[in-house]
Amino acid sequence: MRLWIWTSFVVLGSGCGGGDDGNGDGVGGAELEVSSRCAVIDSVAFPPVQVGQISNGIAQFTNAGTSTEGGLGIVIDGPDAAEFSISPFDSSCTDGGSLGAGEFCVLHIEHRGAAVGDRQATLHVGKRAVPLRGTVTAASTGLFSSIANLEYLAGSVTSGTTSFFVSNQGTTPITLTGEQVAIDGFLLDTNYRCSSMTLTPGAACEVQVAVAQLQPACVSGALTVTSSAGHLEIPVASEFVSIASVQVGSVLGYNDGSLQGLGRVTSDPPGIDCTGTGPRCAMRTDGRPITFKVASDEWYFNGWNLPRCGASTECTVGAGPLDGPSALFALFAPPDSKAIHVEIAGDGLGVVTVGGTLCTSSCTIYVPPGMGAGLVHAMAFSQFGGWSGGCTGSLPSCDLGLIVNDRDVTATFTKDPHEVGSTILDSSGRPVIDHLPGGDLLVASTTQVPATGTLVSRPSASGSSVWSTFLVGNLADAITTPGGAIYVLTGTYSVPMLAKLTAAGTVEWEIAPSVTMPNDLAALGEDVVVAGSSGIEARASANGTQRWTANTTLAAENVAVSPAGIIAASVGAEIVRYASDGTPLLPWTAPGPRGPWSLAYDGAGHLAALSEADYQFETVTTPAVLTRFAPSGTPDFSLPLDSTGNAGGGDVVITPTGKIATLRMHHGYQFTAGASVEVFGVTGAREWMVEKWGARTGPGSAISGFGGGLLRMDPDGNILMVGYQANAGLTVLETFAP
């Protein structure tokens, strides 16, 4: 078996707990509790295996005492010890390691059948002895699986695949007819399936199971492989746990054990007391929010590696869209360091980085004397108004040189023209936003915290989350309906999923769309329309049942629905259209070199279509085109847009007054460097334009690395621009008055 499960299990060392209990044996007076699959166990019982087959077992060792358990030697002995081994893939206990009070580690044990009969051995971890028991039967002469079961304990950062092989050990061909797994947290990877495959004698095929789970849970079931020669039933069992971890480091370099007196981090609730003289520290959270607190007596705290926590002395994980048990770093500077006090001023939005620490508000960063602070850099999400204090001028970067005394610097940010306000969203990737009835914001984004997947959240007015829900798979799109339903499209090319959530974040149903490579959603009343590479389909709100489907010759890249229920989708150079029941309507031709990139309807049924520019070697050869169609299909205007800044595709919305707002990306070398927001009147005249981030030159150009964005409207008709700033790892929501 090949097992790829990315977990947050760590080696827990003495830096995370207490010491010797003083009885002279060098070992704490602790007690190791052994558990597996949410239950305390006295022994590990393996399911029967055939000769040459592998069965899997998990043993979790928890220090249930009040002091450190040290000298954890790990040995397997006994009459059949050669058939049992420790797998390195998911094992976190280390030979000779230690466990502080309340800490745990895990061993993944394999039994490989060698000879028929009962098998036994003993696993020793420190002073604890755990019997290992298994049975071996004769090898199959027909359909054979390389594993007898799947069993493991998975940590909070859990995403990946586990695979095994099905082979024909007989003398005649075997036809495989299917595989099925119906266990929470597991999905079959459609790129690795054996369905409709004929195995000649000696041939094999690979089955991969995708794993992704957020909530702590114990799950069990079976994976079934059916064939012309019968079926295989492979037991599957797993315990998913949530874990939080932190490591203390120094601005002088990552701790190598030679630095003494580094800072200290504790947790609330208690469970972590971590210093810079030890390795990473971890604790089980069981789904609770965990607050890490700086508790340094001598060394100065210099910030977290999580941007939203910045230089704050407390960082909470497990209570918001970025949250969930996270692996944090806390950096400290020595006691003789000098302070750089950073003040962020003005009515605009921006952040400042000092020595690698991101300040989203005024902060203090410490630098060892005689060391350079590096560049102090302003990132303006609105406009940069310039420096004062220890830095001067309007350039975004300032070199303070060697630091021998405390320094004070002020960065001023001012609003963009037409800007109403802006804020940093608590989102860990390129997000999609929409509004729920009543005006509450919905934020969805791909994340790697607490697992690789999609986090959907409803932020409160203060920015914290009213609720957040995790879904398997990367985010493709998310929308809301007038009645408050939420549809989220996630997944990879192999396992796409459409989920319906309530306004409270509860998942009502999940279903795999029938269109291949789905990429866009639109609300059809309370139902949903899905667009993908093979066409379009409509699904019912009640249970996700398909209402109708329509195939297209090219991929349907974007879909929009009019107030009258007319569905429009961009397919090549055409806008294909359907009635609400799926009846095809006459298509419209969309001007532009690459066809429509984005579509949007207004309340009167006008359709705006923004094409993407044609460009070669980062130079626009044919500009983008903005077209507004009347409900009859007659173009009200078709406007070639200028190619300033190599503007390409983007997004489009229509305001309640009929104005059209566009977001156009500005392409730099191998990445999107910036963007422009433009507003056009009902006749096509451009009323104003604001260049954003890397697109802007001259005064105010204090940022680059625009990682993509979108446009939406709020209930008041204001234009919302969402942009992901890749350099800072932050997502910004900026509001403009049209």
Q: What is the pLDDT of residues 275-310, one digit of tens each?
A: 765 556 777 666 566 788 988 767 888 888 777 677
Whether 510 and 518 have beta carbons less than 8 Å apart is answered as no
Range list of H helices, 585-732: none
Average pLDDT of the residues in 320-343: 71
The SS3 of residue 83 is helix
d(CA 303, CA 539): 47
Bridging pattern class, strands 150-154 and 273-275: unpaired
Whether the link from the prior residue into 269 is cis, omega within 30° of 0, is yes
Give the pLDDT of residue 457: 83
Neighbouring CB atoms inside 10 A of 34's CB total 19
Long-range contacts formed by 213-216: CB under 8 A, 24+ apart: 213/154, 213/158, 213/184, 213/185, 213/238, 213/240, 213/451, 214/156, 214/240, 214/242, 214/324, 214/450, 214/451, 214/453, 214/470, 215/240, 215/242, 215/287, 215/470, 216/240, 216/241, 216/242, 216/286, 216/287
- CA-CA-CA-CA torsion sign (147, 148, 153, 155): positive
d(CA 194, CA 215): 30
Whether the link from the prior residue into 450 is cis, omega within 30° of 0, is yes
Average pLDDT of the residues in 487-509: 85
Cα 429 to chain center, whole Å? 7
Bridging pattern class, strands 128-137 and 44-45: parallel
Over residues 364-392, the pLDDT tens digits come to 888 887 777 667 888 888 888 999 998 99
Give the pLDDT of residue 3: 28
Give the pLDDT of residue 24: 39
Over residues 166-176, the pLDDT tens digits come to 899 989 999 98
Over residues 251-278, the pLDDT tens digits come to 766 444 445 567 888 888 877 778 765 5
d(CA 729, CA 438): 30
Tokens linked to 347 = 């009515």
Over residues 445-471, the pLDDT tens digits come to 876 554 557 878 887 665 556 787 878
Beta bridge partner(s), residue 608: 600, 628
Of the two residues 620 and 362, the one the predictor is more confident about is: 362
Whether 540 and 551 have beta carbons less than 8 Å apart is answered as no
Tokens linked to 201 = 């004698």
Whether 91 and 104 have beta carbons less than 8 Å apart is answered as no
Nearest alpha carbon to residue 453 among 476, 431, 470:
470
Give the pLDDT of residue 426: 64
Give the pLDDT of residue 210: 67
Give the pLDDT of residue 548: 96
Beta bridge partner(s), residue 597: none
Give the pLDDT of residue 240: 67
Give the pLDDT of residue 537: 96
d(CA 684, CA 606): 13
The residue length of the chain stands at 738
Over residues 126-164, the pLDDT tens digits come to 889 999 999 999 988 888 998 888 776 655 434 456 778
Q: What is the pTM of this model?
A: 0.69
Give the pLDDT of residue 84: 96
Helices (H) and strands (E) in the chain, counts: 0, 68
Diameter of the chain measured on Cα atoms: 91
**How confident is residue 27, by pLDDT bands cut at 50, 70 and 90?**
very low
The SS3 of residue 16 is helix
Q: What is the DSSP letter of 642?
A: P
The SS3 of residue 350 is strand
Whether 323 and 156 have beta carbons less than 8 Å apart is answered as no
Edge-to-edge strand order for the sheet containing 407-414?
363-367, 338-345, 407-414, 383-389
Residue with token string 């969930």: 324
Neighbouring CB atoms inside 10 A of 623's CB total 21
Give the CA count within 13 Å in the CB-facing half-sphere of 275: 15
Tokens linked to 136 = 């071996």
d(CA 603, CA 535): 26
Give the pLDDT of residue 729: 65
d(CA 339, CA 469): 40
Give the pLDDT of residue 259: 55
Average pLDDT of the residues in 473-486: 90
Is 90 exceeded by the pLDDT of residue 64? no
Is 80 exceeded by the pLDDT of residue 116? yes
Over residues 665-719, the pLDDT tens digits come to 765 544 445 678 899 999 999 999 888 765 444 444 445 445 567 889 888 889 9
Over residues 550-584, the pLDDT tens digits come to 999 888 888 999 999 999 999 988 899 999 999 99
Residue with token string 């007659």: 634
CA distances from 170 to 142, 204, 229 (A): 4, 12, 10
Dihedral of CA atoms 297, 298, 302, 308 in degrees, nearest 10, equals 0
Tokens linked to 190 = 């459609």
d(CA 16, CA 245): 10
Which residue type, as a one-letter code, is found at position 95?
D
**How confident is residue 361, by pLDDT bands cut at 50, 70 and 90?**
confident
Give the pLDDT of residue 322: 35
Give the pLDDT of residue 382: 85
Residue with token string 């230089």: 311
Q: Which residues contact 477 (CB under 8 A, 6 or more apart)?
A: 432, 488, 489, 519, 520, 521
Give the pLDDT of residue 559: 94
Long-range contacts formed by 549-552: CB under 8 A, 24+ apart: 549/514, 549/515, 549/582, 550/576, 550/578, 550/582, 550/584, 552/576
Radius of gyration over every alpha carbon of the chain, rounded to an integer in angstroms: 29
d(CA 399, CA 407): 12
Beta bridge partner(s), residue 696: none
Is 90 exceeded by the pLDDT of residue 2? no
Whether 339 and 406 have beta carbons less than 8 Å apart is answered as yes
d(CA 559, CA 493): 19
d(CA 55, CA 237): 12
Is 80 exceeded by the pLDDT of residue 58? yes
